[in-house]
Amino acid sequence: MTLLLPIAIYVGLGVSLLGCLLRIFQYARTPVPLVWDLLPASGEETDHAEHRGSYFEETNWSKHPHHEHSFCEISAMLQDIFLLHGLWRINRPLWQWSFPFHAGLYLLLAGGSLSGLGVLFHPYAIAAVIFLLARICAWAGLWLTLFGSIGLAWRRITDANLRPYTVPGDLINLGGFALACLLILAGSLSRTMPPFQETVFALLTFQKILQLPVLTQVGIVIGSAMAGYIPFTQMAHFIAKYITYFLERREDAAMKATIQAEMARNLAYHPTWSASHIAAEGNKSWAEIAISNPISAERISK
């Protein structure tokens, strides 16, 4: 084995991490928007009130602090992340492929993290247990991802609703995952595959002595490339969803000072919209436009 494999793995993970951070940064630095509604993220089960009502049902809601992120909400969010509960509710045929695909990726992530942990703890007896768990996760993850990605690709090609909105990139993304899993699994099933613990140890600690089946090596390179590529595609919706969810769920009353400061910054922007009724004229701020009257240029006295 050359050093290519460990390098591919670390570069893939590094780029992935960097990509995720960039995404988080990109969303976090978008200006604080107007409130568009209470729950921009799909949050059906997140309301604690049984009938799913909000604090707007009270005449004096503005006087009462209303809490956010209760246990129920967080539990609903976790169900959404790990069980894809939202999709299960509304699109069961897709869920049956999407769930294994996502569960597979989560398990691969868990397997990878456990492997790293196993390497750290390798002098201790506990390492054997950690590696066993890592192995179970990795195997289950590979099979589920393979199964899920093939199923999703199949649906994209055959479902009349999905086909017109499927672009080559979708199929290549899913194909990339399927191919990586398939190759790793195929190689791993061969007799020349070294034991799991040795393999992981060698891969994560840059050891050259180990010989891996060629199929597995190619699979690892493709898998690493896919890991690095995810954050730059719509597959990164998992980051966006929860960033936006949390950014938007913040309570205006609790964040009053921050929001006011951010709004002041927003209102100081100079828009360049060209329609005559906006009367932006290139030199007016949003605040000035908001208090101008396009009919009479009259100002609202403040």
- For another protein, the binding residues in 17-56 under the rule CB under 8 A are 26-27, 30-38, 40-42, 44, 47, 51-54, 56
Q: What angle, 0 to 180 degrees and rounded to 10, lies between the N-to-C axes of helices 126-158 and 92-120?
A: 150
Q: How far apart are CA 148 and CA 13, in angstroms?
A: 22
Site for another protein in 138-197 (CB under 8 A): 161-162, 164-170, 172
CA 27 to chain centroid, in Å, comes to 12
Q: Which residues pair with 292 in a beta bridge?
A: 299
At closest approach, how far in Å is the CB of 1 from another protein? 32
Site for another protein in 243-262 (CB under 8 A): 244-245, 247-248, 252, 259-260
Residues 215-234 vs another protein: string with x where CB under 8 A? ------------------xx
Q: How far apart are CA 115 and CA 84, in angstroms?
A: 26
At closest approach, how far in Å is the CB of 268 from another protein? 10
Binding segment (CB under 8 A) for another protein, from list 4-12, 117-125, 134-142, 289-297: 289-297
Nearer to another protein, 27 or 143 (CB): 27
Cβ atoms < 10 Å from Cβ of 99? 20
Binding segment (CB under 8 A) for another protein, from list 13-21, 143-151, 219-227, 287-295: 287-295
Q: How far apart are CA 195 and CA 118, in angstroms?
A: 14
CB 153 within 8 A of CB 169: no
At closest approach, how far in Å is the CB of 204 from another protein? 31
Q: How far apart are CA 75 and CA 94, in angstroms?
A: 23
By CB under 8 A, residue 68 contacts another protein: no
Nearer to another protein, 140 or 162 (CB): 162
Q: How far apart are CA 103 and CA 146, in angstroms?
A: 11
At closest approach, how far in Å is the CB of 238 from another protein? 8
Residues 87-106 vs another protein: string with x where CB under 8 A? x-xxx--x---x--------
At closest approach, how far in Å is the CB of 32 from another protein? 7
Residue 238 φ/ψ, nearest 5 degrees: -65, -35
At closest approach, how far in Å is the CB of 21 from another protein? 16
By CB under 8 A, residue 2 contacts another protein: no
Out of 116, 240, 249, 251, name the contact with another protein by CB under 8 A.
Answer: 240
Binding segment (CB under 8 A) for another protein, from list 6-14, 59-67, 111-119, 216-224: 59-67
Q: Which residues pair with 299 in a beta bridge?
A: 292
By CB under 8 A, residue 241 contacts another protein: yes
